[in-house]
């Protein structure tokens, strides 16, 4: 019988990183200047999102099983903008047109969104806020120097497992802005396709959860990733609230 990791899945989905007041406020349209909040997110999230293929490659390099590596290589293929016909049909059913995404790597889709918010200046990593640099470097450290189970816990249970949930508030908020669906496709794409990524990572994680130490490392990586993201949401939320206060005082 396969080892269950349902407890870890549920723990991750109930973590503050997933139920953060920043996300709740965005989804509930509580910010008076939602355009500013979306633009601030676009500016300060790209330096994390653009490195996702790097995160995935780091985990693949730790896996010993050829079957496991092949499974995640499929995820890496999708990250580069390559999908099968069944996926195109699934995406079309939720309003995502093939021409919006075919052959376009996911970091470029986020850059398209970023530019649509008015951030047309070229992105330079040197300009990333220290809060983002700390998140990215700490996350990469977990993936590069943790055990295979810890890296899987961080990228799988602590990241891919929550993506379809944490991007839902952005889908709601963006539907009420003037941005075109083509320009915001990054978000509904990830609430749909990432279920496949999540399943692949969960399947691999079950094999590592067969021992107490392996399951412990899965949880350790998961908690590290979730805690880092929660701290980053804290920073973005504080920026959004400060902007609201500034506007009220003007």
Residues 218-230 have pLDDT tens digits of 999 999 999 999 9
Residue-range definition of the domain harbouring residue 95: 6-245
Residue 82 lies inside a defined structural domain of this protein: yes
3-state SS class at 121: coil
**Cβ atoms 46, 123 nearer than 8 A:** yes
In a domain, 89, yes or no: yes
**Could you tell me if residue 90 is inside a domain?**
yes
Give 19-40 pLDDT, tens digit per residue: 999 999 999 999 999 999 999 9
Q: To the nearest 5 percent, what fractions of the chain are helix, strand and coil?
A: 75, 0, 25
List all residues 6 or more positions away from 223 whose beta carbon is below 8 Å from its beta carbon.
153, 158
Q: Structure pTM?
A: 0.94
Residue 96 domain flag: yes
Q: What is the DSSP string of 51-92?
A: THHHHHHHHHTT---HHHHHHHHHHHHHHTT---HHHHHHHH
Establish if 182 belongs to a structural domain: yes
φ/ψ region of 3 (left if φ > 0, alpha if ψ in -120 to 50, else beta) reads beta
Distance CA 50, CA 230 (A): 19
**In 29-61, which positions are buried (b, 16+ CB within 10 angstroms) versus exposed (e)?**
eebeebebbbbbbbbbbbbbbbbbeebbebbbe
The 10s digit of each residue's pLDDT in 85-127 is: 988 998 998 899 999 999 999 999 999 999 999 998 888 988 9
Cβ atoms of 152 and 3 within 8 Å: the answer is: no
Query: For residue 25, what is the domain's CATH number?
Result: 1.20.910.10
Question: Distances from the Cα of 130 to the Cαs of 2, 28, 141, 232, in angstroms?
Answer: 42, 29, 16, 11
Domain count, the chain: 1
Whether 250 is covered by a domain: the verdict is no
SS3 128: coil
- Reported as a pLDDT band with limits 50, 70 and 90, residue 195 is low
Residue pLDDT, tens place only, 124-157? 988 999 999 999 999 999 999 999 999 999 999 9
Asked if residues 146 and 214 have their Cβ atoms less than 8 Å apart, the reply is no
In a domain, residue 1? The reply is no
Comparing 3 with 123, which gets the higher pLDDT?
A: 123
Residue 99 located in a structural domain = yes
């Amino acid at each position: 019988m396969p080892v269950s990791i349902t407890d870890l899945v549920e723990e991750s989905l109930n973590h503050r990183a997933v139920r953060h007041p920043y996300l709740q406020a965005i989804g509930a349209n509580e910010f008076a200047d939602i355009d500013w909040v979306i633009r601030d997110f676009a500016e300060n999230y790209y330096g994390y999102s653009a490195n996702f293929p790097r995160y995935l490659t780091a985990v693949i390099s730790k896996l010993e099983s050829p079957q496991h590596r092949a499974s995640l290589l499929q995820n890496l293929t999708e990250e580069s903008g390559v999908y099968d016909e069944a996926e195109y049909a699934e995406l079309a059913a939720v309003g995502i047109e093939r021409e919006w995404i075919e052959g376009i790597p996911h970091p470029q889709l986020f850059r398209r969104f970023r530019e649509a918010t008015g951030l047309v200046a070229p992105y330079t990593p040197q300009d990333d806020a220290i809060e983002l640099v700390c998140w990215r470097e700490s996350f990469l450290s977990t993936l590069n120097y943790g055990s295979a189970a810890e890296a899987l816990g961080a990228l799988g249970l602590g990241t891919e497992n929550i993506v379809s949930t944490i991007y839902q508030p952005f889908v709601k908020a963006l539907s009420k802005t003037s941005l075109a669906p083509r320009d915001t496709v990054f978000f509904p794409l990830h609430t749909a396709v990432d279920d496949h990524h999540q399943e692949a990572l969960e399947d691999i994680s079950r094999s590592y959860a067969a021992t107490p130490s392996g399951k412990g490392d899965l949880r350790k990586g998961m908690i590290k990733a979730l805690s880092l993201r929660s701290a980053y949401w804290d920073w973005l939320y504080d920026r959004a609230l400060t902007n609201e206060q500034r506007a009220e005082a003007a």
